[in-house]
């Protein structure tokens, strides 16, 4: 796939990046400033994943956005400092509740409290529920081509990778407790310990009071809640894990993490973990708090509820690039993540790509496609929009790709599935989207008498156009027919100085003719659909409402 690359040297690119206010560069600049104060040979980026449920789009968003910041940092440092991205899975956490969107819920109920890597896989494909969800995450990240290193909390705890820092937490337990206790309710504070022993008998991650700790021996003691026996365990070697806020701080310290972003709901947690990180001798990472994704009801999406969109669902209806654009846009603004946001992001991605080749190097660094494609966006070659394809499927009830390609081939001779594979993929997306979301809600509105008269005039005007009429010529006719009451826009004049035509005219066409609220430019639609088909469609609407 060919890309659009302007001849810019690394140093010139760095200079332009330093002037850019695109948010990935703003984040990367803070990281550069951090290194100016404390130089390092390698910078570590981290994203966290809680595998208590299947991966969702929010998980992808964090990796995609962090990857954009990482690339921006590489540009600002001319790639002279090594970078790594660690995708860390908290798979040693106890299973607190059974997710809504998994099979074999009764079986999972019997294993509540155990580490996710000790809970059997309800899907029956992996050695544990944690391993199953980790695998799903990795397959997805690999599909998108992310450059990352996967890390498992279970592996890191058990291998001893965290031992030295865990002992430091135990050694400075009083400082850690002084940070945590003010944030807890009185009841929880009374029995709180940052260390959670993992019961040797049951494998359950225990939330029990710690009755003794020995920093020199590196152990904690607790009373088994079932047998009442006193148990002493080392805090190392995977015999214990930390509560999640101290755990986050311990991980930042042990691994030397330089950058990690988090959701807005974790602002207080980030502050607490940062203080603990400093208390045990570490330096909190740079990062920012992004806004949350909401479902169609305005509720926060969550892995356990399974609301909002799944990764697989978005990719059934649209390209990976459109999803990346959704993630790039306004990361600090709350956004609905539901099916109706897909068409706009598909077409907006294409518009950004179309505009990229016409921009200078400075403008390109503010174009989302530069960040989506790590500085090397592909050449734009999409002859029709997603909205137009949806309207074609809707108007013709063409639920097969061959029919759609018949329209496209007439509109753009020489364009085929072989010459335009990305368009062929988009044809499939449009058919899936129409079947699942447009067809079930399709309702045709009855035209008023004035609208019937306008439709009749439009039908007659279109029937008199030559077969080879361009989309622009058709649009001119549509516009002129609409220049009448009640569609006049007296506030906005046309090029000839006469009153303009309001959107009500075009919306009426889609509502009456196609049973949908809006659509693409009507002239472009008719050019692809064909004048005889458009005339027949108007005839059908007039007969239906007679």
Residue list for the binding site for ATP = 303
Choose among 282, 273, 300, 290: nearest CA to 183: 273
User: What is the spatial distance between Cα 63 and Cα 148, in angstroms, rounded to a whole number?
Assistant: 9
Tracing tokens 């005039």 back to the chain, one arrives at 457
Look at residue 77 and give its three-state secondary structure: coil
| Beta strands in 90-174, from DSSP E residues, in sequence order | 149-152
Tracing tokens 């996967």 back to the chain, one arrives at 150
User: What contacts 24+ positions apart, CB below 8 Å, involve 366-374?
Assistant: 366/20, 366/21, 366/22, 368/325, 368/328, 368/329, 369/321, 369/325, 371/22, 371/24, 371/68, 371/71, 371/72, 371/328, 372/68, 372/321, 372/324, 372/325, 372/328, 373/3, 373/321, 374/67, 374/71
Choose among 327, 307, 460, 463: nearest CA to 47: 327
Q: Can you give the three-state secondary structure of 500-526, one letter per residue?
A: EECHHHHHHHHHHHCCCCCCCCHHHHH
User: What is the spatial distance between Cα 173 and Cα 307, in angstroms, rounded to a whole number?
Assistant: 39
Bridge partners, residue 43, by sequence: 83
Q: What DSSP element (H or E) covers 325?
A: helix 320-328
Angle at 69 between CA 64 and CA 72, to 5 degrees: 125
Annotated binding-site residue numbers: 303
Q: What DSSP element (H or E) covers 166?
A: helix 163-171
DSSP for 175-240, written as a single string: HHHHHHGGGS-HHHHHH--SEEEB-TTT-BB------EEETTTTEEEEE-TTT--EEEEESSTTSE
């Amino acid at each position: 796939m060919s890309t659009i690359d302007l001849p810019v040297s690394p140093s010139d690119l760095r200079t332009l990046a330093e002037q850019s206010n695109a948010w990935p560069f703003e984040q990367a600049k803070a990281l550069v400033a951090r290194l100016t104060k404390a130089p390092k040979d390698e910078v570590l980026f981290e994203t966290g994943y809680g595998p208590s449920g299947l991966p969702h789009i929010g998980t992808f968003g964090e990796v995609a956005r962090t990857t954009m910041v990482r690339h921006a940092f590489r540009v600002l440092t001319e790639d002279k400092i090594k970078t790594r991205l660690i995708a860390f899975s908290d798979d040693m956490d106890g299973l607190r509740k059974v997710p809504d969107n998994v099979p074999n819920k009764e079986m999972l109920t019997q294993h509540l409290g155990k580490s996710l890597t000790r809970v059997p896989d309800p899907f029956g494909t992996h050695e544990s529920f944690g391993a199953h969800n980790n695998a799903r995450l990795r397959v997805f990240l690999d599909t998108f081509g992310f450059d990352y290193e996967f890390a498992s909390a279970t592996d890191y705890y058990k291998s001893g990778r965290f031992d030295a820092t865990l002992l430091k937490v135990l050694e400075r337990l009083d400082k850690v407790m002084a940070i945590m206790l003010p944030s807890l309710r009185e009841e929880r504070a009374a029995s709180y310990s940052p260390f959670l022993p993992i019961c040797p008998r049951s494998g359950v991650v225990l939330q029990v009071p710690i009755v003794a700790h020995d920093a020199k021996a590196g152990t904690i003691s607790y009373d088994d809640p079932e047998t009442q026996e006193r148990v002493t365990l080392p805090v190392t070697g995977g015999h214990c894990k930390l509560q999640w806020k101290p755990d986050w701080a311990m991980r930042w310290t042990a691994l030397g993490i330089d950058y990690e972003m988090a959701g807005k709901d974790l602002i207080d947690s980030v502050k607490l973990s940062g203080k603990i990180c400093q208390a045990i001798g570490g330096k909190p990472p740079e990062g920012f708090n992004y806004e949350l994704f909401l479902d169609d009801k305005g509720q926060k999406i969550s892995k356990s509820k399974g609301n909002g969109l799944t990764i697989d669902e978005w990719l059934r209806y649209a390209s990976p690039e459109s999803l990346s654009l959704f993630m790039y846009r306004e990361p600090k603004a709350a956004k609905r993540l539901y099916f109706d946001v897909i068409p706009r992001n598909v077409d907006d991605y294409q518009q950004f790509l179309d505009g990229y080749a016409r921009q200078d190097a400075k403008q390109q660094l503010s174009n989302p496609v530069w960040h989506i494609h790590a500085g090397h966006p592909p050449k734009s070659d999409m002859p029709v929009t997603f909205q137009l394809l949806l309207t074609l499927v809707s108007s013709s009830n063409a639920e097969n790709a061959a029919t759609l390609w018949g329209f496209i081939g007439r509109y753009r001779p020489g364009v085929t599935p072989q010459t335009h594979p990305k368009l062929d993929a988009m044809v499939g997306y449009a058919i899936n989207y129409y079947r699942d979301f447009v067809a079930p809600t399709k309702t045709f509105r009855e035209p008023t008498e004035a609208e019937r008269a306008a439709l009749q005039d439009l039908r007659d005007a279109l029937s008199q156009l030559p077969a080879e009429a361009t989309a622009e010529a058709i649009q001119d006719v549509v516009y002129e027919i609409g220049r009448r009451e009640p569609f006049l826009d007296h506030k906005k004049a046309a090029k000839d100085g006469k009153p303009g035509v309001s959107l009500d005219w075009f919306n009426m066409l889609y509502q009456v003719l196609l049973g949908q609220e809006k659509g693409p430019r009507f002239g472009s639609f008719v050019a692809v659909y064909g004048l005889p088909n458009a005339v027949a469609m108007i005839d059908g609407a007039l007969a239906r409402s007679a």
